[in-house]
Amino acid sequence: MAYAGDEVAELEARQEPRLVRALEMIAPGTAVREGVDAIVQARTGALICIGAGEDLSFLYSGGIKLEVDYTPALLFQLAKMDGAIILSSNGTKIGWANVQLMPDPTIHSLETGTRHRTAERVSKQTDALVIAVSQARSVVSLYLDGAKYILEDITVVLAKANQALATLDKYRSRLDQVSTRLTALEFEGGVTLHDVLTVLQRSELVSRMGMEIERYIVELGAEGRLIEMQLEETMVGVAADKGALVHDYMVEPTEDSFATVLDSLARLPHQDLLDFGRLAELLGHDRKLNTLDHPTSPRGHRILGRIPRLPKLVVAEIVGEFGGLDEILAASDLELESVEGVGDMRAKDIREGLRRLQEINLVDRYLQT
């Protein structure tokens, strides 16, 4: 898929929920895509509107009312006629065929061909998804809310997805390195805000790359299953670790603050994401703070969250009781057991889990050097 604009606009467009739903509807393996592909191969051209009939009917001039079940073969045959084909919002019914659409002619359009100009104006005037199949060039264009998206060949999208996966793998490798270093510093009590922000930044970059690949997967449809499996494997633990990191180091540890930080982080422009001052500000610190010299301590969510079979509610109780990881590590068995939801057996599991995490971290750091 190519977006008419720069790369930043393309990324934002791919993340737009309505576009994702539209791509799901016409992805390879769907009935709508099968019909569109048949039209492309036959070079007949078509104008297809997908939306609620009552919202589009004021644009109709003439046409044949059908109200029949959708099939790819029927769509292909109807495309041989002049005029537009109207599908229901979920694409399961063909409502009308051979319809002359009459959108407001005063609506500005950058298109030159009649079919594409009509498609753009209809998308600006209604909530419909409009598909224009070029007869001469065999290009499929989507129009949604006045914006144009061109469907690329599946081999091109697949190549882009594989390239993005390779980049994501490098991003994830770097994230694991800085995360392992942070874990060691947390156990040693030598964390600076710069160490925290480095992991936070890398986590968000990995998340954004993963979102971009998800959009490729949607566009690939049935052809994207292998890419999806690889993505799931690469993204394991990223979201949970990022959330625990924010819980550990934000200045105001409330659920409302937590949700605000994550939401603000996701909306942060790419340039701001590279600015540690801005990231520090998100966590509640002064933007002008020297992050390299500012010591900080974790509350323990991130480390405790890595202990197997330890529920989040119990983690929250332990953190609430002791206040920080240093205090948790220094706590006696009796003090751990007294925390609600812990008890004798779980206290032993926590001790053993913390010991193993320290050992694993030492091995990981050795392998990364």
The pLDDT score that the predictor gives to residue 253 is 86
- C-alpha 330: how far from chain center: 40
CATH number for position 8: 3.40.1700.10
pLDDT confidence band for 367 (50 / 70 / 90): low
Structural domain count, the chain: 3
- Asked if pLDDT for residue 261 goes beyond 80, the answer is yes
Contacts of residue 213, defined as CB under 8 A and 6 or more positions apart, other chains included, come to 161, 164, 165, 168, 227, 231
What torsion, rounded to 10 degrees, do the Cα atoms 187, 192, 194, 200 define? 40
CATH number for position 324: 1.10.150.20
* Domain identity same for 58 and 75: yes
The pLDDT score that the predictor gives to residue 213 is 95
* Domain identity same for 133 and 190: no
Distance between CA atoms of residues 244 and 242, nearest Å: 5
160, two tokens: 């882009």
- Best-predicted range by mean pLDDT among 125-134, 340-349, 353-362? 125-134
- Asked if pLDDT for residue 228 goes beyond 80, the answer is yes
* Domain identity same for 199 and 241: yes
For a pLDDT cut of 90, what percent of the chain falls above it?
80
* Domain identity same for 332 and 315: yes
Helix axes 238-249, 255-267, angle to 10 degrees: 120
* Domain identity same for 141 and 171: no
Is residue 88 left, alpha or beta, with left meaning phi > 0 and alpha meaning psi from -120 to 50?
beta
From the list 22, 28, 23, the residue with the least C-alpha distance to 222 is 28
Taking residues 265-272, what's their average pLDDT? 93
For a pLDDT cut of 70, what percent of the chain falls above it?
94
Identify the H or E element spanning 61. strand 60-61
Which string of DSSP letters, residue by residue, matches 156-183? HHHHHHHHHHHHHHHHHHHHHHHHHHHH
From the list 156, 125, 160, 122, the residue with the least C-alpha distance to 142 is 122
Domain closes at, from 151, 184, 214 = 151
Which tens digit of pLDDT belongs to each residue from 55-100?
899 999 999 999 999 999 999 999 999 899 999 999 999 999 999 9
From the list 109, 127, 144, 140, the residue with the least C-alpha distance to 46 is 140
* Domain identity same for 190 and 245: yes
* Domain identity same for 24 and 139: yes
Domain closes at, from 151, 177, 206 = 151
Q: Which domain holds residue 140?
A: 2-151
Distance between CA atoms of residues 92 and 30, nearest Å: 11
* Domain identity same for 337 and 224: no
The pLDDT score that the predictor gives to residue 364 is 64
Which tens digit of pLDDT belongs to each residue from 100-152?
999 999 999 989 889 999 999 999 999 999 999 998 888 999 999 989 999 98
